[in-house]
């Protein structure tokens, strides 16, 4: 029986899609060993109890160390550059020891499925003579952009000379040399290359090194579908190993129908299910859902502008506010805002997002445009207001607004009046109706890709399974 070891990058937004992929492989007859870092394993136990990591006879959880000292706060996402550097430098030896232990005590490992950010695993796959598929959890468009980092640096477009270039109009310059991305602006390129903040320079070098090493994988899979990003995937397959779109994974996962598997979840924050009951009481498409994901942070000023924009819109809203949403301090909203919106707003610390986006009362999504949020919104036909903050969120926003026609952009420095206008337009305006129609069209294309046996994602999934099974015999 094929046995896949699945290794997500140790961040919530990467763990969730890897779990979906692991469940899909399990439903196709694979034994699964799911490998979290010790830090996130403990977070998972605190969030969901020890049963969360008990697994099944054919679905095991294991851990490797991340090489970092114990943090002061065990429930805050780790600093990404620090964590990425440590894992890449220290995790290979423990990972090889883990493979040896699994082979001896459970069932021989026949393949590895790892997040691209865990590319150190390729060395282990070669040593154990087993195939490895890498998983790019973001959109294919952002992978093209990251691959163009050396080109952008060579042309002298980045790094920015200083932080004034963030606001002086320089980033509005249109560039036309990134394949499949004609017309995008410098501001739409993933942000690390600006090299303004601590850790940016490391991340630029790290990502270039990762992508070079990724070219040694047997294949790359992406959580997208051919109808959405087929031209980009074709281009990527000329640079990297064959790239396959096997998403949206949330739709493929929902088709499995295995209750034992459904109980396996990996949320590192406790979910607030009161929000679903609250949504049940609201009219069809009347609520705007607001969530900036598991990592993105904003300033207290951005938080205040956002809250008053929502207040002035007079729309009902469900807003997920993590305790660590604001840079360097706890997210605190003005009492006047809470009083003014108490009858039409609900605040939650975390929620079951897929359930929320599938709820009939949700008519729009104000999002940071992380890829999980973007692809889940597309698969549920929910139009968006995109306010990207960092990393791949910028190109995801550009595609959503300019190519797919399913979103409107809100600058991260937008004032409350601009946010109000966008919310009102999305929920009740002519432009909002137009992008809602586009969103429904994309939802129908998702259904075709993921439910029809000859749908593009179904066909690509079978190719990947055949590759893993053939290579493992």
Coil, strand or helix: which one is 418?
helix
Residue with tokens 């029986």: 1
Which of 88, 115, 188, 392 is flagged as catalytic? 115
CA distance 277 to 291: 18
Active site residue 188: no
Q: Of the listed 3, 14, 26, 359, which one is catalytic?
A: 14
Q: β-strand 174-175 against 184-185: which pairing, if any?
A: antiparallel
> Rounded to an integer, what distance in angstroms lies between the CA atom of residue 388 and that of residue 394?
5
Look-up of token digits 């749908």: 455
Task: Decide: 225 and 245 in contact? Cβ < 8 Å.
Answer: yes
**Radius of gyration in angstroms for the set of CA atoms belonging to the chain, rounded to a whole number:** 22
341: enclosing H helix or E strand:
helix 335-341
Contact yes or no for 263/289 (Cβ under 8 A): no
Query: Are the beta carbons of 20 and 246 closer than 8 angstroms?
Result: no
CB 276 within 8 A of CB 305: no
3-state SS, residue 55: coil
Cis, peptide link before residue 282, omega less than 30° from 0: no
Is 359 a residue of the active site?
no
For the annotated catalytic residues, the residue numbers are 14, 115
């Amino acid at each position: 029986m094929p046995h896949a070891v699945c290794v997500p990058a140790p961040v919530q937004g990467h763990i969730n899609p890897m779990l979906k992929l692991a469940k899909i492989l399990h439903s196709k007859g694979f034994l699964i060993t799911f490998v979290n870092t010790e830090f996130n394993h403990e977070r998972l136990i605190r969030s969901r109890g020890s049963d969360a990591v008990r697994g099944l006879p054919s679905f095991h959880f294991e851990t490797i160390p991340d090489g970092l000292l114990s943090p002061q706060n065990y429930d805050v996402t780790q600093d990404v550059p620090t964590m990425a550097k440590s894992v890449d430098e220290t995790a290979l030896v423990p990972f090889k020891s883990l493979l040896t232990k699994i082979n001896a005590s459970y069932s021989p490992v026949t393949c590895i499925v790892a997040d691209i950010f865990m590319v150190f695993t390729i060395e282990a796959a070669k040593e154990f003579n087993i195939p490895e598929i890498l998983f790019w959890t973001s959109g294919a468009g952002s992978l093209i952009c990251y691959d163009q980092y050396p080109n952008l640096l060579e042309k002298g477009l980045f790094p920015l000379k200083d932080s004034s270039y963030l606001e002086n109009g320089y980033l509005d310059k249109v560039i036309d040399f990134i394949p499949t991305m004609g017309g995008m602006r410098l501001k739409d390129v993933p942000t690390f290359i600006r090299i303004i903040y601590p850790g940016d320079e490391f991340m630029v070098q790290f990502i270039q090194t990762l992508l070079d090493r990724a070219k040694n994988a047997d294949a790359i899979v992406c959580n997208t579908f051919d109808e959405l990003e087929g031209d980009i995937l074709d281009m990527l397959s000329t640079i990297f190993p064959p790239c396959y779109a096997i998403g949206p994974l949330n739709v493929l996962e929902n088709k499995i129908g295995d209750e034992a598997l459904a109980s396996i979840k990996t949320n590192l924050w406790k979910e607030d299910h009161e929000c679903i009951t609250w949504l049940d009481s609201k009219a069809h498409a009347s609520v705007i859902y607001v969530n900036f994901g598991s990592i993105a942070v904003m300033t207290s000023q951005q938080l205040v502008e956002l809250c008053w924009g929502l207040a002035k819109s007079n729309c009902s809203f469900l807003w997920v506010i993590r305790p660590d949403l604001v840079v360097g301090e706890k997210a605190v909203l003005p009492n006047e805002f809470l009083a003014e919106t108490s009858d039409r707003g609900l605040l939650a610390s975390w929620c079951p997002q897929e359930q929320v986006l599938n709820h009939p009362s949700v008519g729009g999504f104000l999002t940071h445009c992380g890829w999980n949020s973007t692809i889940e919104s597309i698969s549920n036909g929910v139009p968006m207001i995109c306010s990207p903050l960092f990393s791949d969120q910028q190109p995801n926003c550009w595609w959503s607004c300019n190519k797919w026609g399913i979103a409107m952009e809100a600058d991260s420095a937008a004032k409350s009046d601009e946010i109000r206008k966008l919310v009102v337009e999305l929920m009740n305006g002519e432009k909002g109706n137009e992008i809602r129609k586009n969103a429904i069209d994309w939802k129908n294309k998702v259904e075709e890709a993921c439910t029809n046996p000859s749908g593009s994602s179904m066909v690509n999934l079978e190719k990947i399974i055949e590759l893993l099974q053939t290579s493992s015999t």
